[in-house]
Amino acid sequence: MTLVVMAGLFLTSLLVIRWQRGNEGVKEGIQQTSSMLKRIAPMMIMGMVIAAMASVALPSEVINKWIGDESGMTGIFIGIAVGASVPAGPYVVVPLLGTLMVNGAGVGPLTAFLTAWSVIPISRSLVWELPFLGPPFAISRFIVALSFPLIAALLAPPVFRLFD
């Protein structure tokens, strides 16, 4: 289903480019994609292996104890610390979170992890945000976002219970 929608969107965008900019534009789009692929492919493969190996390396008891539903604030802070320091894209983080989820990680710690990775990523901020958007912007944004993962993690479990 999602595949069909994505394929449809992709084809539509190609047609629009073709109509607006001709073959030149299509070529440019393909170039953008292939340079992205080249960059991401090695990381993506490593990410998949890390996620799969982690499920073998970390037995459910360990996951449950440290970041399970009962882990409380400890689990949330572990989630924030790991999330903020993982230097990887969604192709690593999301499969890893999926593995952790299946093996007993709680909604609070998982939300903390995903939110920290999204809004206060240490390496992405240093390597990308600081040079490209400038120190004043990057610093102000980081300060403002610092509390977000904790708030999200505290709000998530009751909300999750509504859907589960």
Partner 1 sequence: MTSGTRRKRRIDPSLLTLFGILCLVVSVVFAREGTDGIIEGLRSSLSLTRRALPITLLGMGLAGTLQVLVPPGVIGKYMGDDSGLVGLSIGMLAGVITPGGPYVMYPIGNALMASGAGIGPMAGYVSARNLVTVNRLVVWELPFLGWPFTLTRILVSFWMPIATVILVPIVYRLLPKVLRDKAPHKKTTE
Q: Is 6 in the site for partner 1 (CB under 8 A)?
A: yes
Length of the chain: 164
Nearer to partner 1, 77 or 108 (CB): 108
In whole angstroms, give the CA distance from residue 61 to residue 49.
21
Number of residues that bind partner 1 (CB under 8 A): 89
Q: Is 152 in the site for partner 1 (CB under 8 A)?
A: yes
Q: Is 133 in the site for partner 1 (CB under 8 A)?
A: yes
Please give the DSSP secondary-structure letter assigned to residue 129: I
Identify residues 71-130 at the interface with partner 1 (CB under 8 A).
Answer: 87-92, 94-95, 97-98, 101, 107, 110-111, 114-115, 118-119, 121, 123-124, 126-130
Identify residues 44-73 at the interface with partner 1 (CB under 8 A).
Answer: 44-57
Q: For the residues of 106-137, what is the DSSP string, one character each?
A: -HHHHHHHHHHHHH--HHHIIIIIHHHH-HHH
Identify residues 9-38 at the interface with partner 1 (CB under 8 A).
Answer: 9-10, 13-14, 16-17, 20-21, 25, 28-34, 36-37
- Nearest-approach distance from CB 70 to partner 1, in angstroms: 18
Tell how far CA 39 is from the center of its chain.
Answer: 17
Are the beta carbons of 119 and 149 closer than 8 angstroms?
yes
Tell how far CA 29 is from the center of its chain.
Answer: 24
